């Protein structure tokens, strides 16, 4: 079998790869080995085993979710980690995590699109369930830079940019919006809705359910496709070109919804700061080792701050590489300086998540152009 032609990324590809590995290593240190909170891991195991927080003795951690003992024990760990923000033990933590989880909606949407491309079947980015299990358990900031590396590997194949390879099957493309809205965004928003919940038993159940939402998205994508089969589409030319344009319509619709949602979350957090001068965005987003060891909620806030910052540092770099690759294949003429400037300015105005999905939204149109690429 002949060697597949590959893109020539040159120095920027090497630098991006090194940076992504460094981000994953930094996340591993800050989230697992930092001396900021000595003994916290052992302390956290005690909290899960005793089912109570030292600073909130009146609040019991729920024991049963599925009836499967080992699974319920694992869910207790995840709920114990997320509940201090969902229940607003520390207000800045709640603001960070609500913003963080809504901002993750565009990221998981891009993953779903890339997994659905015909040419990516059996590629590294195809296995979104495996990636989800890893970033939900090991840690997003550790795993997601590695996903970005896998994306770079998969998109280095020249075949990726051909029409048959970049297409999504129409039933899959049509399933994207309902699967992601119902499977991920709605459960995420539900966690933070105010309602009467003595003992927070319902909120704990919602928090436990949220942990499997990336897997739920994949299940919904699978089971919704028969309802969006090609046979239900309006009459059109049955050609590869018309099929490609139609699937792009659904992808760009999803990206548009992601952009509006994440930009609205960004505007919301800015408005919240203006309405409440006591809320410090520095305390919301920037980890400060000198404040630790603190309470359970404060230590978890520190961990999630690093999780958020490193995930979106990796994602913004990922977006820059994905767009600059289009220059390599001759579909754009955008320099890395222009890209970097656009990403920084966009992140301030619209937020990092909206900026990343905006880049992929724009990229989707450019992928449709047929040109001669530079190859190695």
Q: How high is the mean pLDDT of the chain?
A: 87
Q: Tell me the average pLDDT across 124-131.
A: 94
Q: Containing H/E element for 57?
A: strand 56-60
Q: What is the DSSP letter of 156?
A: T
> From the centroid of its chain, how far is CA 319?
13
What is the helix, strand, coil percentage profile of the chain, to 5? 75, 5, 25
Classify burial at 74, counting beta carbons within 10 Å of its beta carbon; exposed 0-12, middle 13-18, buried 19 or more: middle
Model confidence, pTM: 0.90
Task: Please say whether the beta carbons of 97 and 304 come within 8 A.
Answer: yes
Looking at residue 240, its pLDDT comes to 45
DSSP secondary structure string, 66-119? SS-HHHHHHHHHHHHHHHHHHTTSSHHHHHHHHHHHHHHHHHHHHHHHHHHSGG
The mean pLDDT value for 120-126 works out to: 93
How far apart are alpha carbons 374 and 25 in whole angstroms?
32
pLDDT in tens, 153-196: 999 998 898 888 889 999 999 999 999 999 999 999 999 988 88
Residue pLDDT, tens place only, 29-77? 888 777 555 567 777 788 888 888 877 777 888 888 888 888 888 888 8
Burial (CB < 10 A; 0-12, 13-18, 19+), residue 169, is: middle
Phi, psi angles (nearest 5°) of residue 335: -80, 160
* Integer Cα distance of 289 and 291 in angstroms: 5
**Domain boundaries in the chain?**
11-33+90-366
Question: What pLDDT sits at residue 206?
Answer: 92
pLDDT digits (tens, 9 = 90+) for 198-252: 778 889 999 999 998 999 999 999 999 988 885 554 544 444 444 445 888 999 9
How many Å apart are CA 135 and CA 149, to the nearest integer? 15
pLDDT value at 78 more than 70 = yes
pLDDT level of residue 371 (50, 70, 90 thresholds): low
Please give the DSSP secondary-structure letter assigned to residue 5: P
């Amino acid at each position: 079998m002949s060697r597949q032609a590959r893109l020539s990324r040159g120095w920027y590809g090497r630098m991006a790869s090194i940076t992504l590995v460094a981000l994953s290593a930094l996340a591993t240190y800050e989230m697992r080995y930092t001396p900021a909170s000595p003994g916290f891991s052992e302390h956290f195991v005690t909290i899960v085993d005793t089912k109570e927080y030292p600073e909130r003795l009146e609040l019991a951690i729920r024991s049963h979710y599925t009836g499967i003992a080992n699974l319920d024990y694992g869910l207790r760990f995840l709920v114990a980690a997320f509940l201090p923000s969902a229940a607003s033990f520390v207000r800045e933590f709640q603001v960070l995590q609500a913003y963080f989880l809504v901002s993750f909606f565009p990221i998981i949407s891009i993953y779903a699109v890339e997994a659905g491309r015909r040419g990516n079947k059996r590629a590294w980015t195809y296995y979104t369930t495996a990636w989800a299990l890893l970033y939900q358990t090991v840690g997003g900031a550790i795993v997601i830079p590695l996903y970005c590396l896998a994306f770079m590997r998969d998109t280095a194949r020249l075949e990726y940019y051909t029409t048959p390879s970049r297409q999504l099957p129409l039933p899959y493309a049509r399933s994207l919006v309902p699967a992601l809205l119902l499977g991920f965004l709605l459960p995420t928003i539900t966690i933070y809705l105010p309602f009467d919940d003595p003992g927070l038993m319902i909120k704990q159940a919602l928090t436990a359910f949220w942990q499997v939402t990336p897997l739920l998205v994949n299940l919904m994508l699978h089971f919704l496709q028969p309802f969006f089969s090609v046979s239900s589409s309006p009459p059109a030319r049955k050609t590869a070109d018309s099929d490609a344009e139609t699937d792009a319509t659904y992808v760009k619709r999803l990206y548009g919804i992601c952009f509006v949602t994440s930009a609205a979350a960004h505007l919301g957090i800015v408005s919240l700061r203006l309405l409440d001068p006591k809320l410090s965005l520095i305390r919301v987003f920037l980890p400060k080792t000198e404040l630790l060891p603190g309470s359970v909620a404060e230590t978890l806030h520190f961990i999630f701050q690093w999780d958020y910052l490193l995930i979106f540092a990796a994602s913004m770099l990922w977006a820059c590489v994905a767009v600059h690759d289009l220059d390599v294949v001759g579909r754009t003429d955008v320099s890395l300086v222009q890209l970097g400037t656009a990403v920084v300015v966009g992140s301030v105005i619209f937020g990092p998540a909206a900026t990343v999905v905006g880049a992929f939204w724009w990229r989707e149109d450019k992928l449709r152009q047929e040109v001669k690429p530079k190859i190695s």
